[in-house]
Amino acid sequence: MNEQDNQSIDANQRISAYDYELPRERIAQDPAAVRTDARLLVLSRQDGSIQHRYIRDLPELLGADDTLILNNSRVVPARLMGYRTRTGGRWQGLFLRSDDAVGVWEVLSKTRGRLQEGETLTLQDRHARDGIELKVVARTENGNLLVQPLAEGTANELLGRYGWVPLPPYIREGRMVDADLQSYQTVYAQHDGSVAAPTAGLHFTEPLLKQLGEKGVRTAEVTLHVGIGTFRPIAVENLQEHRMHTEWGQVEAAAAAAINETPRRGGRRVAVGTTSVRTVESAAGDDGSLAPWTGMCDLFIRPGYRFKAIDGLLTNFHLPRSSLLVLVSAFAGRERVLNAYREAVENEYRFYSYGDAMLIL
């Protein structure tokens, strides 16, 4: 794109307009010792005003008729570590999906040299002990490996023994500790399928959910399995040219009914995390009503999008130039969001997956 073309793009549609400076020490390497002690920046969509609160203050900030929309996808221990059985060369992989009927997994693969069909890989468990072997059977059109575990058990059973939590690289360079097995999972996770946590939900505890319920705040659970595409940066300057990755999602009848009922009683539909936003917005009709829905979600929400099914958003602080920051800016306004980010940096908030949060109402 030449300079003249670049200047003709509205600022809200340029990825370079979603940049900000973040000192490295502001990237959280571990979660808050107590989940509800995480800080909460409250941003008003109406006037851009900001309050500095804590997650534990949510019962004060939400109304008795509000509904929290939760993504109940469970993070799979999808990171695979081991070596090439024949050569001993180090190997890393990321489990993407499986077909248990034929016993084949699709994985992203990282190693020196090219793996050959018929070659085997030896997995190691979280204590670096040798475990099962994976036999390379083919490659997909996009270059991923198809491997066959040489052991009995479903993918979930084997990953539970040999998989590692797939932390993003900005957390300890992706190195997992035992505590991450619990910390990098929401307390309401139900359905296996994500390779990254819906991180806004990490702030909730069972006592906090109980306290919110006692006030009258309802919850509605949807499912969106977070895929590897969530880590991919936007590679084009013009947002209109970006093609969003696809992820499997579902809204069941009970959740659709609960969300539809919320505005009728004067409440707000508050999505917990950008994945919840994309799920309900994918399922919503033009009038904002939801029906049961199952499908592949490839919705890219950017400024100019008309939100149909949410009135509020609880979200973590996101990476610069990311589709997640663009979504939040579409909801609250780019300049207001970036101003809030600057204030969060100045007030030493903790950023990204294990960091603090924003509540936009």
Position with higher pLDDT, 66 vs 113: 66
Q: What is the pLDDT of residue 334?
A: 97
User: Where residue 4 falls among pLDDT bands split at 50, 70, 90?
Assistant: very low
User: Where residue 232 falls among pLDDT bands split at 50, 70, 90?
Assistant: confident
Q: How far, rounded to the nearest angstrom, does the alpha carbon of residue 42 sit from its chain's CA centroid?
A: 21
Q: What Rg, from alpha-carbon coordinates, does the chain have? A: 21
User: Where residue 9 falls among pLDDT bands split at 50, 70, 90?
Assistant: confident
CA separation for the pair 49, 67 (Å, rounded): 23
User: CA triplet 78, 80, 82: central angle to 5 degrees?
Assistant: 170
pLDDT exceeds 70 at position 340: yes
pTM of the model: 0.92
Mean pLDDT of all residues in 240-251: 94
> For residue range 144-168, what is the model confidence (pLDDT) as tens digits?
999 999 998 889 899 989 999 999 9
* Token reading at 355: 């960091």
**Architecture field, domain 3-75+181-360:** 3-Layer(aba) Sandwich (3.40)
* Token reading at 192: 């296996």
> For residue range 181-210, what is the model confidence (pLDDT) as tens digits?
999 999 999 999 999 999 999 999 999 999
User: Where residue 101 falls among pLDDT bands split at 50, 70, 90?
Assistant: confident
Beta partners for 226? none
Instruction: Look at residue 97 and give its three-state secondary structure.
Output: strand
Q: What is the pLDDT of residue 125?
A: 85
pLDDT exceeds 70 at position 284: yes
CA separation for the pair 257, 259 (Å, rounded): 6
pLDDT exceeds 60 at position 3: no
Mean pLDDT of all residues in 14-36: 97
Q: What is the pLDDT of residue 8?
A: 63
User: Where residue 300 falls among pLDDT bands split at 50, 70, 90?
Assistant: very high
List, as one string, the DSSP characters of 287-325. Answer: TS-B--EEEEE-----TT----S-SEEEEE---TT-HHH
- Give domain limits for the chain: 3-75+181-360, 79-164
Over the chain, what is the mean pLDDT? 94
Mean pLDDT of all residues in 48-71: 98
Q: Which one is the CATH code of 79-164: 2.40.50.100, 2.40.50.140, 2.40.10.240, 3.30.160.40?
A: 2.40.10.240
Position with higher pLDDT, 276 vs 142: 276
